[in-house]
Amino acid sequence: MKLARILFYLFLITIPLGSRALLHQFINGFHEYEAAFLYLSDIFLVAFLLWYCVTQLRQHSHILENVRMLLGRYWLLATFILLAGLSVIWATSVGLAIYTFARLLLLALLAIAAGKLFRSEMIRIKSAIMILGGSAVLQAVIGFGQFVKQGSLGLGFLGEPILGPDIGGTAKIVVEGGPILRAYGTLPHPNVLAAFLLLGLLSLCYLWLKSSTVKERVILSGSLFVVALGLVISFSRAGWFVAATSALAVVIFGLAAKTYRYHAATLAFLLAVIGLSLAATFSPYVFSRANISSSEPAVTYRLDYNELGAGLIKGQPFGVGIGNQVLYSVRNDIYQSRGLDQAWQWQPIHNIYLLVASEIGILGLLVFLIFLAAILWRKSTDSYFKTLLAALLLLGLFDHFLWTLQPGRLMLWLTIGIVLGHMSPRSSKDRISPSEGGDTGSIPVEGTINELNGFLEAKMRDARSASQGFPPNFPNKFRIFGALARTILFWRRRFEIPCDTN
């Protein structure tokens, strides 16, 4: 178990590190979204998951029975994975789709494994939160150095991009006619840095509410200031908005609980002082960036990409294949028809929900949303962690990196795993026995969400009826999804088996 903790903590440390090696290009010429990479974080992630799988196999001699139990508990997630796998069949680049699908499988397994180990306290959540908070402080310091120098710090071995206000492709703001480089840290874009700092900020707030000594609060005060500074100089407006909203939610959460009321009040005062002091110090930059114009490129491009996504969903309701949205749009002149002729303009849809629907289909998005709603709706032993997930999901309305880029994917699915690890059981059927590595309070998240079952079963019955009597020229994709609709409910019931609670 010590090895598992070490591997998991090393994985957490490497999440914001962009160190990677190019493995394969699926098209002629390099393009970020059509290439396969091996990241430093992949090494520790795969090692951790291998340990988890080997441990599970040792604990359960009947592999098929273990798979049945796993699918029964996580049937919504399994259905989403199945739909993503089916989309590979009609993808423009099957190789790219398989690569992206394999990453999705690893991420889903990460969420399940992390949830189970957090639930059984084999991995302590406080330790994980401290690592995230500490990593955020380090990234903020690196970002501040980049902002002061207006260039890279020579940390390429950690994945730091080559930066400079006059280098094409770098993110910058314009203040009084001059370009100002935005902070990156060792992440691929300032918006991704803002997301990681947001997780760090909320992690530090959690530690503040749980703190018991003056020394802890002094250290946390300095850490909160540094992370907030990093957020400011990332100049991510979505990051600012979500950070402010999430911090307010944390304070309200704390004030509503008697145990944390005093700490929440002092946290609110501290955050207000930090926010006002940073806004005053960086006022020329902040107010310039906060002024949003409907004609600025950051806004117009997002609108174009989202309109493009809506058109894709309408024209391809079953998706264009996981990981293939950009490639499909290029090869079908969809970007070009909107005047986006340059390779750097060929970016994913800047909304993860439209992006999921465009790649995996409307049904895939529906299942994904039900899965997320289920874990957010379910009672929790510590509802604070739902704030982390809700913050990321809110960010997903404004950008694509939670679905397309390695650090973003890891942040999203790690947070899902944290939430899974703090769900409360509803009945004895929801519990995982100690023989499975959990405790008697563990929970299979989706397995018994009765409110959703009736809705889903009705939809399945409708889809099953609609799938019968195909005309001879009915498209094959519709046949596949009709058959899928008939079988999901069958296997859902088949896999729903009682768990040992002794």
SS3 37: strand
* Banded pLDDT at 382 (limits 50, 70, 90): confident
3-state secondary structure of 334: coil
Structural domain for 9, as ranges: 2-121+356-495
Is the predicted pLDDT of residue 216 greater than 60, yes or no? yes
Q: How confident is the model at residue 55 (pLDDT cuts 50, 70, 90)?
A: confident
**In angstroms, how far is CA 116 from the centroid of its own chain?**
18
Q: Is the CB of residue 84 less than 8 Å from the CB of residue 104?
A: yes
Beta carbons of 14 and 41 less than 8 angstroms apart: yes
Query: Among the listed ranges 377-381, 398-402, 440-444, 480-484, which one has the minimum average pLDDT value?
Result: 440-444
Q: How far apart are the first and last CA of the chain?
A: 23
Note whether 112 and 251 are same-domain residues.
no
338 lies in some domain? no
Q: Are residues 273 and 367 in the same domain?
A: no
Over residues 151-159, mean pLDDT = 94
Closest CA to 307 of 354, 258, 371, 369: 354
Of 290, 308, 341, the last residue of a domain is: 290
> Average pLDDT for residues 259-276, to the nearest whole number?
94
Do residues 413 and 378 both lie within one domain? yes
Same domain, 151 and 273: yes
| Average pLDDT of span 377-400 | 91
- Per-residue pLDDT tens digits for 268-325: 999 999 999 999 999 989 988 888 877 788 888 899 999 999 999 999 999 999 999 9
Q: Out of 98-102, 143-147, 498-502, which region has the weakest mean confidence (pLDDT)?
A: 498-502
- Distances in whole angstroms, Cα of residue 430 to Cα of each of 72, 282, 367, 378, 422: 11, 51, 21, 12, 13
**Position of tokens 């099953």?**
464
Question: What's the mean pLDDT in 166-187?
Answer: 90
- For the chain, the domain total comes to 2
pTM of the model: 0.85
| Averaged pLDDT of the chain | 85
The answer to the question of residue 189 being in a domain is yes
Cα dihedral value 372, 375, 377, 378, nearest 10 = 170
In a domain, 242, yes or no: yes
pLDDT in tens, 327-336: 999 999 999 9
Look at residue 496 in the predicted model and tell me its pLDDT. 45
Predicted pLDDT at 452: 47
Residue pair 117/414 in contact by the 8 Å Cβ criterion: no
H-assigned helices in 235-296: 237-256, 261-281, 283-290
- Contact criterion met (CB below 8 Å) for 371 and 77: yes
- In angstroms, rounded to a whole number, what is the distance separating the alpha carbons of residues 362 and 98? 20
Q: Check whether 502 has a pLDDT greater than 70.
A: no
- Closest among 257, 146, 145, 278 to 201, alpha carbons compared: 278
Return the pLDDT at 432. 47
Question: What was the pLDDT predicted at 257?
Answer: 83
In order of 253, 265, 317, 328, 419, the CA distances from 260 in angstroms are 9, 9, 47, 51, 20
423-470, pLDDT tens digit by residue? 876 544 444 444 444 443 333 333 434 444 555 555 555 555 544 544
User: What integer pLDDT is reported at residue 493 of this predicted model?
Assistant: 52
Q: What does the pLDDT read at residue 450?
A: 45
Answer with the residue of higher pLDDT: 108 or 169. Answer: 108
Domain boundary among 235, 265, 290: 290
